[in-house]
Amino acid sequence: MNDTTMTGRITAESADRDFMQIRYTDLIGKFLAKYIQIDKELIQDVFRKGIGLDGSSVIGFSTIDESDMMLFPDRKTLRKIPLSSYEIMTVIADVYNGFDKGRSIKDPRSVSQTLEDHLAVSQIACQIGAEVECFVFDQIIFDMENNNPASNNVNGRNRAKDVSILSSEQYGIGKYPIRKKSGYDVPTFQDSLIEFRFEVANILKQYYDINVTNMNHEVASSGQIEINFMHDYLTQSADNVQIYKDVVRNVAKKYNKIANFMPKPIFDPLNNENSDNGSGMHVSISLWTKSASKNVNLFYDESDDYAELSQAGRYFIGGILDHARSLSAIVTPTVNSYKRIIPGFEAPVYIAWARGNRSAVVRLPVNEKKSSTSKRIEYRAPDPSANPYLAFSAIVAAGLDGINRKIEPGNPVSEDIYKMSDSRRKDLGIGVLPGSLEEALSSLKSDSKYLNLCFHHDLISTYSDLKNKEIVEIGNDESVINQFMFYYDV
């Protein structure tokens, strides 16, 4: 058979078949993808019968002796998207144990869905909005120790002696460099990523029906961006974060750039003056009663003079502050996260709350007055290395514990906490967030009962084991190069 005949046959057969991308998230937050080709008339079988998965090859899912698992696509997430020169279907799946043994307790998506089911019993819905920052570098260059690939591999990871970050916004590279910590809303001639952000926004809307609101150049130099999208229900919002990060990375690949979601890629362990702002993932939360006639924001109270915040909202804040240290193990889950949680770079360090105060870990945005639809509570600790399904669920679980136990948050703090003396902070009862992942995991070990609402204890145990192993692998070397070797693709 000649080549022309073969090509014609493949084209004709392909017209009756579809490529499908099936997405799911591992325990630490990586958005994985499986691909199948299927007859168009058999697509419904994928939703009904699922697709097999080797759970032992997925971080945190299962052991090799119980590795057979299943992916069942969530029909609500089905989309048509372009991928390379193809148009394919993409869908997010739920993870089940094999042999009809039910839902996997290690599936991060099951955590947020369990919490939503719990709230639905009380006719309550949770809305989440995430502000995900990241860097888009022109290049990351690893200077390997020698030219022998075998000797560069240590514990399954390559070894390098140095790393260089290149960006057209840096001194010595670009024509109009941006000074450190001076990138917020820079003028057009300095902003190297305008078209990049526009393209990401267009893809999110056109192919995923995600409505983008803001597309900012953020505070740091070297290509820091933040693209915000509309709040949504808890699981949907976590889905949106995973999709957003994936789109940013793929658009960066198209532009021959590298998207980086490390919490603190630009830091100097010896001199903070040489560091730049890190990337956060501030999370805004609101709770709503679900009613056929009218939805009511449970955090809104027009009669509250301070911030139009209800008593339920205060209790919710009280729960977050009470559990803030253990929450850190989930919302700031990497060794690199704690390079960001230091004073002087707009990242939260202190356990306090206030309206409009960005030095507190909980902030009440007060841009608008007498607006029940915009009343929300912002938790500023999380960063983009967090698994959004786990992070969002843990924050809400902590807040609900505050409501159930009527935990008062104390008085709001109207001062710049960064500038306070230690004695002043002590007098006000202001605590401090953990200074390391090890410290955060220790807090989680002693304070995890509130998570039982939606986290299975085996998930928490497996997650903690993975993170403790991460600490051991990194060891005492917290240099920039070692951080990049572990987290450049987080």
Whether 380 sits among the annotated catalytic residues: the reply is yes
Residue at 248: amino acid letter: V
Q: Which of 131, 276, 308, 401 is catalytic?
A: 131
Query: Which domains does the chain possess?
Result: 16-104 (3.10.20.70), 113-123+279-487 (3.30.590.10)
Give the pLDDT mean for 432-460.
98
pLDDT over 70 at 53, yes or no = yes
Among 465, 471, 409, 466, which Cα is nearest to 439's? Answer: 471
| 460-464: long-range contacts, CB 8 A cutoff, minimum separation 24 | 462/27, 462/60, 462/106, 463/27, 463/28, 463/60, 463/330, 463/390, 464/329
pLDDT at residue 153, as a whole number: 52
Residue pointed to by tokens 């957003």: 244
Whether 179 sits among the annotated catalytic residues: the reply is no
pLDDT tens-digit profile of 399-412?
999 999 999 999 99
pLDDT at residue 30, as a whole number: 98
Q: Which of 308, 380, 401, 425 is catalytic?
A: 380
Whether 41 sits among the annotated catalytic residues: the reply is no
Cα 172 → chain centroid: 33
At 85, is the pLDDT very low, low, confident or very high (cuts 50, 70, 90)? confident
pLDDT at residue 15, as a whole number: 52
Structure tokens at 185: 């809303």
pLDDT tens-digit profile of 281-306?
999 999 999 776 788 999 999 999 99
At 476, is the pLDDT very low, low, confident or very high (cuts 50, 70, 90)? confident
Q: Which residues are annotated as a binding site for Mg(2+)?
A: 131, 133, 218, 226, 282, 378
CA atoms within 13 A of residue 116's CA, in its CB half-sphere = 19
Cβ–Cβ < 8 Å for 242, 25: yes
**Residue 165 forms beta bridges with which residues?**
140
Whether 478 sits among the annotated catalytic residues: the reply is no
Q: CA quadruple 21, 233, 385, 244: dihedral positive or negative? A: positive
Whether 159 sits among the annotated catalytic residues: the reply is no
DSSP reduced 3-state for 265: coil
pLDDT-above-90 percentage for the chain: 77
Give the pLDDT mean for 162-179.
89
Environment class of 117 (CB within 10 Å of its CB; exposed 0-12, middle 13-18, buried 19+): exposed
Q: Which of 107, 116, 322, 378 is catalytic?
A: 378
pLDDT over 90 at 173, yes or no = no
Q: Which of 358, 438, 447, 470 is catalytic?
A: 358
DSSP state of 277: -
CA atoms within 13 A of residue 241's CA, in its CB half-sphere = 34
Cβ–Cβ < 8 Å for 23, 92: yes
54 Cβ contact list (under 8 Å, min separation 6): 67, 68, 69
